[in-house]
Amino acid sequence: MILTLANQKGGVGKTTLSVNLAHAIALSKKRVLLVDADPQASASTWAAAREEPSPFPVIGMARNTLHRDLPELLENYDHCVIDSPPRVSALARSAILASDLVIIPVQPSSYDVWAATETVQLIEEAQQFRPEIKALFCINRKVVNTAIGQEIGAALAGYPFPILKSAICQRIAFAESSAGYSVFELAPTSTAANEIKALSREILKLLGAKAW
């Protein structure tokens, strides 16, 4: 399974989700590779900041031929998570073309909802070449018990892709884990860790993979 986190708007939390989802999948006793396809190299920087080896391999692969080059690297892995770049580009298109499933993280704000249009268009273009590519929205950095957090689902209803039931809320644990750790290392029993676990289970189940 190749899972890509994609959104043409920057600052939506793609790297944080990518790192924590990769670790959740690794904890399910699956071999997972995290591919950093963002020229900003945030995921690679995360891995370099660690004092101990990462619980999963992280490689930089910010190239426009990603969809052609990646398959031969995945023979020894069960799953792959791609942290894709912001902005419409050949690299973003290549990351989406490589995917079995594209997750679009969206923050609960009107601007994020409007900005999702470009990402949806990129995915629909890729589906013309690979109709089997699936896409889903993931509500990220949701503020608990706020009206805008509750209304985001209705705001996304006009798009052709469904919304994952598992939302990720704004938690201090995610900010604290950004410097070379995941929430499973810094706060393994936290609500943040449980939210990522639930998200990983839902994604794996949708793809027909065994969930932990």
Instruction: Give SS3 for 22.
Output: helix
Q: Is the entire prediction scored with pTM above 0.85? A: yes
| pLDDT digits 0-9 by tens, 61-114 | 999 999 999 998 999 999 999 999 887 689 999 999 999 999 999 988 878 888
What is residue 157's predicted lDDT score, i.e. its pLDDT?
84
CATH number reported for the structural domain that contains residue 199 in this entry: 3.40.50.300
Give me 31's structure tokens.
């071999």
Domain assignment of residue 211, yes or no = no
Strand partners of residue 5: 83, 103
The stretches of the chain forming alpha helices (DSSP H) are 14-27, 42-48, 66-69, 90-97, 110-129, 147-155, 172-176, 183-186, 191-206
Average confidence score pLDDT of the chain: 90
What is residue 211's predicted lDDT score, i.e. its pLDDT?
59
- Asked if pLDDT for residue 203 goes beyond 60, the answer is yes
Domain assignment of residue 212, yes or no = no
Query: 163 is in which domain, residue-wise?
Result: 2-206
The count of structural domains within the chain is 1
What is residue 210's predicted lDDT score, i.e. its pLDDT?
67
- Asked if pLDDT for residue 207 goes beyond 90, the answer is no
The stretches of 35-109 forming alpha helices (DSSP H) are 42-48, 66-69, 90-97
Out of 6-15, 145-154, 198-207, pick the least confident. Answer: 145-154
% of the chain residues with pLDDT over 90: 68
- Asked if pLDDT for residue 212 goes beyond 60, the answer is no
- Asked if pLDDT for residue 147 goes beyond 70, the answer is no
Domain assignment of residue 53, yes or no = yes
Tell me the mean pLDDT in the region 39-53.
92
CA 183, 185, 187, 191 torsion-angle sign: positive
Residue 54 and residue 56: Cα distance in Å, rounded? 5
What is residue 110's predicted lDDT score, i.e. its pLDDT?
78
Domain assignment of residue 136, yes or no = yes
| pLDDT digits 0-9 by tens, 162-185 | 999 999 999 989 988 777 899 999
- Asked if pLDDT for residue 148 goes beyond 80, the answer is no
